[in-house]
Amino acid sequence: MNRRSALAVSLLAAGAVLTACGDAQLPGTADVKPASVQVGGDAKAVDSVATALTDAIRAMPSPEFGKLVVDGDGRTIYRFDKDTAKPPTTNCTGDCAAAWPPVLVDDPAAVQATGVDATLLGTVERPEGGKQLTIAGWPAYRYAKDTAPGDVKGQGAGGNWFAFTPEGKKAAAAKSGTVGVAVMKVGKLGQIVTDREGMTLYRFDKDSAKPPTTNCKGDCAKKWPPVLVPDGAKVEGLDSLGTVDRGDGTRQLTVGGWPVYRFAEDKVPCDTKGQGVGGTWFALNDTGAKVGA
């Protein structure tokens, strides 16, 4: 199988200062930031996408991401951080479900599972009708832009979408790669730190830098996805970069000691909708100091 992947968590370092926030698309944006997929006015078209190929799932090795869960045709299956597993709840409907078609199934016991514990499989009722497959309680989706077996273009999209591991957890990059950042001019905020795709990074006043400490977890981390550094990955792009242990087995990128996050409501490069939220969230510069406070 030809394994093709849009690397979303294994990022190239971008140490050079980008000049401005304009209309030009930054590298990798098209693959990582999903747009609404036009399915036409026929609701049955959405259903036909969602119900296709649900007879089997299997674990598939990936050199970039370790073992992933795919369907019978080799298409990657994803989970959404804004859903919940306890109880299983799906929050991706309408345009979201067009871009991320839910995996529908009548009976999870009838799904042939290879390399995935069948006891992890279940279903949750969709708001529009039908039963959606769940893995370890998490509703399962495909990504409409994955057009060939082995595509993993949805991995890390918006900081909320991740391929499933066979244990029902979020896939991260394999033990290799580099996590980097860029510095670019964004509107009145001036020079701020962004990820490679130009998405604004933020710091949280309730965290600390000395020592680096993260206090945004649970529901907070769904709204403010932490920038994670996979095991074995390097951090490059600024002298002030580091990492902090989040206490759940993952490491978070820091700038000047401050843990950094994306904001779930920032949809395109140069969005700064998280700036000043709650009087505690701010963009930051290359030293970790908050900007525009």
DSSP letter at 247 equals S
The answer to whether residues 146 and 191 belong to one domain is: no
**Domain-located, residue 122:** yes
**Domain-located, residue 189:** yes
The answer to whether residues 204 and 243 belong to one domain is: yes
The answer to whether residues 85 and 112 belong to one domain is: yes
**Domain-located, residue 1:** no
Q: Provide the residue range defining the domain that includes 97.
A: 35-153
The answer to whether residues 189 and 277 belong to one domain is: yes
**Domain-located, residue 149:** yes
The answer to whether residues 25 and 69 belong to one domain is: no
DSSP labels, 143-177: -TT--STT--TTTTGGGTEEEBPTTS-B----S--
Task: Specify the pLDDT at position 174.
Answer: 55
- Report the alpha-carbon distance of residue 36 to residue 215 in Å, rounded: 33
The answer to whether residues 135 and 235 belong to one domain is: no
pTM (whole model) above 0.75 = no
- Report the alpha-carbon distance of residue 244 to residue 211 in Å, rounded: 9
Task: Specify the pLDDT at position 35.
Answer: 26
Q: Which of 124, 153, 182 is the last residue of a domain?
A: 153
Q: What are phi and psi of 260, to 5 degrees?
A: -115, 150
Taken in order 54, 56, 61, 67, is the CA torsion positive or negative?
Answer: positive
The tally of domains found in the chain comes to 2
Q: What tokens were used for 223? A: 């709204």
Q: How far is CA 70 from CA 95, 149, 267, 272, in A?
A: 23, 9, 27, 35
Task: Specify the pLDDT at position 169.
Answer: 93
**Domain-located, residue 143:** yes
Task: Specify the pLDDT at position 63.
Answer: 63
Task: Specify the pLDDT at position 275.
Answer: 97
Task: Specify the pLDDT at position 175.
Answer: 53
For 42, how many CA atoms within 13 A lie in the half-sphere containing its CB? 5
**Domain-located, residue 104:** yes
Residues, the chain, total?
A: 293
The answer to whether residues 203 and 146 belong to one domain is: no
Q: How far is CA 280 from CA 220, 231, 274, in A?
A: 13, 29, 10
Q: Which of 153, 184, 204 is the last residue of a domain?
A: 153
**Domain-located, residue 61:** yes
The answer to whether residues 68 and 124 belong to one domain is: yes
Q: Kindly list the averaged pLDDT for each block of 10 residues, start to end, along the chain of length 293.
A: 29 35 36 28 36 69 81 92 95 93 91 92 94 96 89 87 93 69 91 88 97 94 89 84 90 96 89 96 97 87
- Report the alpha-carbon distance of residue 247 to residue 249 in Å, rounded: 6
How open is the CA angle 132-138-142, to the nearest 5 degrees?
60
The answer to whether residues 149 and 184 belong to one domain is: no
The answer to whether residues 23 and 48 belong to one domain is: no
How open is the CA angle 290-292-293, to the nearest 5 degrees?
70
The answer to whether residues 182 and 75 belong to one domain is: no
Strands 112-114 and 56-62: parallel
The answer to whether residues 270 and 182 belong to one domain is: yes
**Domain-located, residue 11:** no
